[in-house]
Amino acid sequence: MKENRIVIIGAGASGIIAALMAAKKTDCKILLFEKNYILGRKILSTGSGKCNLSNQNISPDNYNLNSRAFLKKVFSKVKPKEILNLFTAAGLYLKTEADGRIFPRCMNAQEVVDTLSRELQKPNIEIHTLTEITGIIKKEHGFTIKTQTVKPQWDKESFKPETKIFDCEKVILACGGKSYPRIGGGDAGYKLTRFLDLKISNLSCAIVPLITDEKWPAGLSGVRCDVLLSAFLKDKQIGKSSGELLFTDYGISGPATLDISRDIIQALKTGKVDCRINFLPELSLKEIDAFLKERLKKMSTSSKKAPLEIPFERKNTANKSVSSNISRQKFLTGQAGYFLNGIFGDKISKLILIKSGIEENLPLSEAGPDFMEKLIKNITAFSFRVSEGKSFEHAMATSGGAELSQINPETFEVKGHKGLYLVGELLDIDGDSGGYNLHFAWTSGFLAGVSAGKD
Ligand SMILES: Cc1cc2nc3c(=O)[nH]c(=O)nc-3n(C[C@H](O)[C@H](O)[C@H](O)COP(=O)(O)OP(=O)(O)OC[C@H]3O[C@@H](n4cnc5c(N)ncnc54)[C@H](O)[C@@H]3O)c2cc1C
């Protein structure tokens, strides 16, 4: 076995696959360095701990990058199926959701990391955790690498960092992006590329929750609903996405928000961004109009009836039972405050009413012609303004990075730097949410590993 042949910096998604693929091609020593205590820390947090590791519909169109041709070459060199086969061959049973997102069948990211860790048990792979690469020098043949041990969290006082310097023939930089510094994201990779004189484009957050100008979302914090979310810059639509939206104490998050956050972040650089929520995207305006008119007719007639006896009551506490009586009576007395309950949850119903300027205790029998007009407007185009995105602390991907013009798409080797490879989120490419970022990380690691493993 030749000594110190291939060094991989970062044991995240791209670095682990690079190590595995290189090990399939060579019996030279492969050194995998990770500054965290464990491998694949970020993988554990993906897909809310379930790891949305790929998508059935992988295409260059799902990525934000300068050159689609680059990704076309990448995906023609390694077909998505080949990546999935790596996991299934290693014993991970996968499942595809109706929307195309692919997860481990057990919906547990830990199983993905465990499966990969088992695969890494090869005689020529050496893993060094709690070790950060702090410098790279390119020599005439190969590279000199500087390492420094990292203080473990549990070590309160006695820690003295150790530094080492050694030579290697090939280096794969798989340090990831800036996002989520608490689990390994940061500047480290970009700093290392400076030693090598590589070009880095501007970095910004992608797939990030958004902060709204208005403070009302705080009152709905934790509420989720299926919507169509559209974003506008100076009245021109810049993006739309459908799916689950989550209200938070600072604004909005959830898949529908994250999916168009990249477009919104870019647009915010040039002006204010207005958003509109359609709370009933599955119905046309005409259908909503007919549906609400019918509902109004029924509910305003019910106001003439005496409140009904409650046929069932909540069991838990006396108080709950009383409040359930009260709401049901009010509902039957046909007040505007309860007109939307049952279509939406209570908080969203109230929000739409307030935005529409409709008094809660307005008897539905007295609802004027503009009642329906205002409601339909705010059900289908509830408007608010986004002030900014959350920081890299909350961003799930980094937009920008090492420029792709420097990279060979078939091997991920840096042009003019023999033996140097850049992979994963460190590159100037970011995917939509839905498994596309991990898919790119696996794929780029795959190609770099295969190439580096060849003599
Ligand atoms: C909360 C969250 C949820 C996400 N969910 C999804 C999802 O469901 N599906 C999806 O496709 N994508 C998801 N992503 C994005 C995805 O995780 C990343 O795009 C992907 O992990 C990038 O892989 P990578 O190998 O480039 O970087 P990483 O996985 O970040 O790995 C880089 C590794 O390098 C280490 N490192 C960095 N510098 C050094 C150094 N100098 N020396 C030693 N080690 C170093 C880091 O500690 C890290 O472990 C999510 C991201 C986050 C933050």
Q: What pTM, to 2 d.p., does this model score?
A: 0.87
Q: What stretches of 20-168 adopt beta strand conformation (E)?
A: 30-33, 54-55, 63-64, 94-96, 101-104, 125-128, 131-138, 143-149, 163-168
Q: Whose CA is nearest to atom 41 of ligand 1?
A: 133
Q: Which of 217, 214, 233 is nearest to 225 (CA)?
A: 217
DSSP state of 159: -
What is the 132 CA–ligand 1 centroid distance (Å)?
15
What is the 64 CA–ligand 1 centroid distance (Å)?
17
Q: Whose CA is nearest to atom 45 of ligand 1?
A: 10
Residue with tokens 């547990």: 108
Which residues, given as ranges, of the chain have pLDDT below 70?
1-4, 156, 302-333
> How far is 10 from 31, CA to CA, in rounded Å?
10
Question: Residue 315: enclosing H or E segment and its boundaries?
Answer: none
> How far is 446 from 440, CA to CA, in rounded Å?
10
> How far is 232 from 247, CA to CA, in rounded Å?
19
Vertex 52: Cα angle to 47 and 53 (nearest 5): 135
Which mutation among 208, 438, 442, 443 tests ligand 1's pocket best, with the greatest number of atoms within 8 A of CB?
A: 438
With helix as H, strand as E and coil as C, how does 53-96 read?
Answer: CEECCCCHHHEECCCHHHHHHHHHHCCHHHHHHHHHHCCCCEEE
Pocket of ligand 1 (CB under 6 A): 9-15, 33-36, 41-42, 45-47, 52, 132-133, 174-176, 179-180, 184-185, 188-189, 396-397, 424-426, 435-438, 441
Q: Domain 6-205+396-453 belongs to what architecture?
A: 3-Layer(bba) Sandwich (3.50)
Domain ranges of the chain: 6-205+396-453, 209-389
Q: What pLDDT does 452 receive?
A: 97
Q: Are 106 and 57 in contact (CB under 8 A)?
A: no
**Nearest atom of ligand 1 to the alpha carbon of 33:** 43
Q: Are 129 and 37 in contact (CB under 8 A)?
A: yes
Q: What pLDDT does 319 receive?
A: 41
**Nearest atom of ligand 1 to the alpha carbon of 179:** 53
Q: Are 249 and 281 in contact (CB under 8 A)?
A: no
> How far is 173 from 421, CA to CA, in rounded Å?
6
Q: Whose CA is nearest to atom 4 of ligand 1?
A: 46
Q: What pLDDT does 307 receive?
A: 43
One-letter identity of residue 187: D
What is the 118 CA–ligand 1 centroid distance (Å)?
19
**Nearest atom of ligand 1 to the alpha carbon of 423:** 26
Beta partners for 253?
246
Q: What pLDDT does 88 receive?
A: 98
Q: Whose CA is nearest to atom 27 of ligand 1?
A: 176
Q: Which of 344, 330, 270 is nearest to 299 (CA)?
A: 330
Secondary structure of residue 334 in the 3-state scheme:
coil
